[in-house]
Structure 1
C-alpha cells in the first residue's frame, strides 16, 4: 500500500520507494519543498561511507547541532530579543531555555547549552562550518535533544531524517550505515528514512508520488548532492541557511512600505494538476511574489521549471519579480526600489478600485 508522509512511522529505519517510479534526489526535492503539512519535520542528509558506527553517528549529530544552532531563535520563544555574547544574552538564553524545558519534553541542561552556543554564534548557516563548543553530553542525550529541537522549530510532534545512501556502498559500509541508523532511530525517536536503490535488512515502505511530481522530476537534471544537511525553510521567516534572504529581510525591516510581507509561504495554484509551491517572499493582498535566484536557477531545466511556476502564479493574478543573488548582494537598494515601486503602484490601484 502506498503511504503519504503522515502515514510513515517515526522511531524506525525504513527504505523509501515509489510505486510507479523510483525515489531519487529530484523526487525528494519536489516532495519536500514545501514541507508537507502532515507528518514530521523532515531534514535531509547526504551520507558518506564511514569506518565505524560511532563515526557515522557522530558525524550526523555534529551536523544536526550546527543546524539547530543556525535555526535559533525559531525554537526558543523571545530568543530573538536577546543581545549577543558581549551582553547578558548568554545568561538570558539559558534562563529562557530552562523555563521552556520545564513545560515541554525538552531536556533543560542540553537546551540551555544549545541556546548559549546559538547566542555566541549569531548568523546564518554556512556549509561545513563548526559552531562554538558546549558541554559534553552523552550521544543519547544529544540525539533525543536535537530531534525535539528540530521538531519544535517546525511546529511538529516529531522529526525525520531522510538519508541519501552513497552509491556503490560496500557490504561492510552498508552494515555500518544500517547499524548507525538503527541506533539513531531508537535513541532519538526520529524516523530514519533511506533513499537507496536497494538495501538488505531494511524494511521498504512505498510512498505516494503525485503525477505532477513525477513529471517535473523527469524534466529536472539530476542534481549533485553537495549539501551534507538540507533543511526546509520555516514559514514566515527567511531561510536560516540563506545569507541573501537574511540580508533582504534585514533591509526590509527598515522599510515602512514593506509591511505585510511573508517569507517562505506555501501556495496551491487553482490548477489542481500543479504541485503546491513555496514562494521566497510574498505580499498576499497585493498579489506580489519575489523570488531570489541562486546559481542553480541558471540551468536550463530549472529555468523551465521556474517559468512553469510563474505562469501558474500569473494565471492566479500574481506578479512574479525575480532577482539574482548577485543583484541582491551587489545592489540591494536598486532591488528594494523596484519592489517598492511595484507595491506602491499595486496599492494605489487597489485603493482606486475600492473607491
Structure 2
C-alpha cells in the first residue's frame, strides 16, 4: 500500500477516488471530453445511489423517466446543483442515452458528475487518477497536463496523473485536500511510478473507486454491512491495489486485510468464463507466492449464506493473527 493511497483510505475527509485510463490524445479538449464521458458512465451505473427517492425506479417504462427528472430537479434545488443537468443525467441513467447530457457546458458536466460520484460514496469530493499510455510524447503529455489542470480549475476535482513520462509532469507525491467551493483547487500531483498490469478489460468498464465497496455490487455492499458490525473485521480495505512483490505487477483486489496478508475476492458469473477463470488463477498464484492468502466467494454465497461466509472469514483471520502470519 503506497503512502498516498493509505492517506486516502484512512482520512475521514478523503474523496471518492476514480481511476481512469486515458487514450493519450494530443488535444486538451478531446482529453477533457473523454474523461467526462467516462465519469458520466460511472455516474449512470451508480444510479440511483446519488438520487434520493429513486431507489425503486429500475426501468424507463411508463412515467419513470418523468419521475426521476422531477426528483432530480428537486434534489438539485436542495443541494445547489444544476437542475437541468441532474435531470438529464437521471434520465440518461434509465435510458442509456447521452444525447441530452452532452448539450450542457463541460464545466457544468464536470462539477455535476463530481458531485454525484462523491455523494454515491458519502464522500466530500471526488478525485481522479489519470493513467495515460506508457511513454507519451511531449505533445500528448502537455495536452494531458492541460486537461488535468482544466478539470481542477473548472470541475473542482482533485487530479493525479500516474505517468512515467519524462516531459515535465511532476512525479513527487504531495498531500492534497478534497476540493471545496471558495478554496483554491489543489495542485496536480503524481503518485510514485509503478509497473502496470496489462488489462484486457474495455475502457468502458466502470472505473474502480478506492476505499469502499462498489455501490453497484450488491454482494460487496451486503458483506461490508455485515463486517462493519464485527470487531474482528477491523483493518480491512475495499477495492485496493496490491503489489505482491517488487518484480510483480500490481493487482486490484476486492477486499484486503493488509496486516494478515489476506485477500478476499467476490466473484460474479463472469468469473466462470474460461478467460476470466485463467486470469483469476494466475493472479491467485502470484499473490500466494508472495505470502498472500486468497479466499474466493461467489455473489450467491455472500447473498444467500452470509453467516457461513462470516464464520469462515473470522476463523481464517483469527488463525492468521494467532500464528503471527503476515508482513
For the 8 Å contact 1:164–1:195, the answer to whether it is kept is: yes
The aligned counterpart of 1:134 is 100
The 3 A distance-change label for structure 1 pair 137 and 267 is: farther
- Distance across 1 between alignment mates of 2:6 and 2:49: 23
Taking structure 2 as the reference length, the TM-score comes to 0.64
The count of aligned residue pairs is 262
Q: Residue 223 of structure 1 corresponds to which residue in structure 2?
A: 197
- Are 1:159 and 2:110 matched, yes or no? no
Which residue matches 1:182? Answer: 149
| C-alpha separation in 2, matches of 1:276 and 1:81 | 31
Give the aligned partner of residue 110 of structure 1. Answer: 85
Q: Is the 8 A contact 1:93 1:112 kept in 2?
A: yes
More relative contact order, 1 or 2 (CA 8 Å, 6+ apart): 1
Mapped partners of 1:86, 1:101: distance in 2:
23
User: In structure 1, how many angstroms separate the alpha carbons of the residues matched to 2:162 and 2:229?
Assistant: 25
Which one of the candidate residues 255, 272, 277 is aligned to 2:237? Answer: 277
Q: CA deviation at 1:30?
A: 6.5
Do the aligned partners of 1:267 and 1:276 also contact (CA within 8 Å) in 2?
no
8 A Cα contact 2:15 2:126, kept in partner: yes
Q: Distance in 1 between matches of 2:174 and 2:291?
A: 26
Please list, as runs of the form range in 1=range in 2, the aligned pairs for 1:1-355 lying within 5 A after superposition: 27=2, 31=6, 37-121=12-96, 131-135=97-101, 136-198=103-165, 200-206=167-173, 222-225=196-199, 228=203, 230-232=207-209, 235=212, 239-240=215-216, 245-246=217-218, 262=225, 276-278=236-238, 291-293=265-267, 294=271, 295=276, 297-298=280-281, 299=283, 300-303=285-288, 307-308=292-293, 322-324=296-298, 332=300, 339=306
In 2, are the aligned partners of 1:266 and 1:276 still within 8 Å (CA)? no
Q: Which runs of 5+ in 1 are unaligned?
A: 1-25, 122-130, 209-216, 253-259, 282-288, 311-320, 346-355
Residues 54 and 180 in structure 1, CA contact (< 8 A), matched pair in contact too: yes
Higher Cα radius of gyration = 1
Report the secondary structure of 1:196's partner residue: coil
Secondary structure (helix, strand or coil) at the match of 1:262 reads: helix
Contact 1:95 1:112 in 2 (8 A): yes
149-158 vs 262-271, which moves further: 262-271
User: 2 CA distance for matches of 1:44 and 1:181?
Assistant: 13
Quick one: distance in 2 between partners of 1:268 and 1:301? 30
Question: Is 1:44–1:164's contact at 8 Å kept on the other side of the alignment?
Answer: yes
Please report how far the alpha carbon of residue 61 of structure 1 lies from its aligned counterpart in structure 2 after TM superposition: 0.9
Shift of 1:226: 5.1
TM-score, scaled to structure 1 = 0.59
Q: Name the CA distance, whole Å, in 2 between partners of 1:141 and 1:200.
A: 31
Q: Distance in 1 between matches of 2:132 and 2:230?
A: 31
**Separation in 1, partners of 2:160, 2:231:** 27
Q: Does the Cα contact within 8 Å between 2:128 and 2:158 map onto a contact in 1?
A: yes
Q: Which moved more, 1:131-140 or 1:172-181?
A: 131-140
Contact 1:49 1:169 in 2 (8 A): yes
Distance across 2 between alignment mates of 1:93 and 1:57: 28
Q: Structure 2: 5+ residue runs without aligned partners? A: 176-191, 240-253, 256-262, 313-327
Tell me the CA shift for residue 206 of structure 1: 2.4
